[in-house]
Amino acid sequence: MNIRLSHAQALGLMVLATLLWSIAGIVSRQITQAQGFEVTFWRSFFNALSLLIGLTLATRGSVWRGSEFRSRTLWLSGVCWSVMFTAFMLALTLTTVANVLITLSLGPLLTALLHRLLGGQALSRQTWGAIALAAVGMAYMFVSQLQLDGGQHLKGMLVAACVPVAGSVQWNLMKTRQPDVAQTNMLPAILIGAVLSCMFTAPMAMPFQASVQDIQWLALLGVFQLAVPCSLAVWSSQVLKPHEVAMLALLEVLFGISWAWWGAGEAPAVAVMLGGSLVLAALAGNEYASWRQRNE
């Protein structure tokens, strides 16, 4: 995508991406026969298929004729996407959703720290404060459900930790590719990640048990819960800072709770409401402070 976004446009697209990511829970409730790795396989399969078609049409096939796929950075980004596509589902088979979500809340901190270690601009005090407040909010939302009894839950959280680690590498990779406009288009990395995820989960997904209706729901997830929002996130990362992308990605959890409340009548507990308010306050405060700095 060669259209240059403003900061406000990038912010809006990233929020839209988190909204689309958040539909996974409510859509997955409609699936009756496919389970575990088969859900991950079909979701990644339709993600890859839609990206293959979309990138071909958008570039008139030129994306496959260039030298983009010789880039090590592109393949590293693809591996990161693959880890994020796969590790979340694997973690859910080992521990509770609450444990996984608490682990994912490490994302903004890891992203900001890696950005700083890679020689990025020093983070402002308000950004560090916003990261800390968002982390407290996320932890508070689920602390009453935290379970670490036995080694199984610890294994699940270690697997879940792969998601924020891969995400921190991913968003910093996005930023390092921006100075030179002639550098590799990073959208094909999402396709690489989807294909790698399919290859990894296929053996464990057999024998396939998904019904026709399941396939339709999984196709919806592959296109509108992975391919479209991931592409929007990559596009937005051309403008947004890595820690901004990671912090905004936390909105996925809040949107997901809202979907469950609206679509399944699962009213969130008081702790979830209070914790979510802290996350929203952190995001809004950081964006307001950044806006003031840009306009001074």
The CB density around residue 4, as the number of other CB atoms within 10 Å, is 10
CA distance 103 to 99: 6
Ranges 166-180, 228-242, 274-288: which has the least confidence: 166-180
> In the predicted model, is pLDDT for residue 295 greater than 70?
no
What is the C-alpha to C-alpha distance for residues 129 and 178, in angstroms, rounded to an integer? Answer: 27
d(CA 180, CA 110): 25
Q: Is the pLDDT of residue 80 over 70?
A: yes
Mean pLDDT computed over 266-284: 72
Whether the per-residue pLDDT at 211 is higher than 60: the answer is yes
Amino acid at 41: F
Region 52-77 average pLDDT: 80
- Amino acid code (one letter) for 164: P
Average confidence score pLDDT of the chain: 80
Q: Give the pLDDT of residue 221.
A: 92
Task: Using CB atoms within 10 Å of the CB of residue 71, give its burial: 0 to 12 exposed, 13 to 18 middle, 19+ buried.
Answer: middle
The predicted model gives 19-31 an average pLDDT of: 83
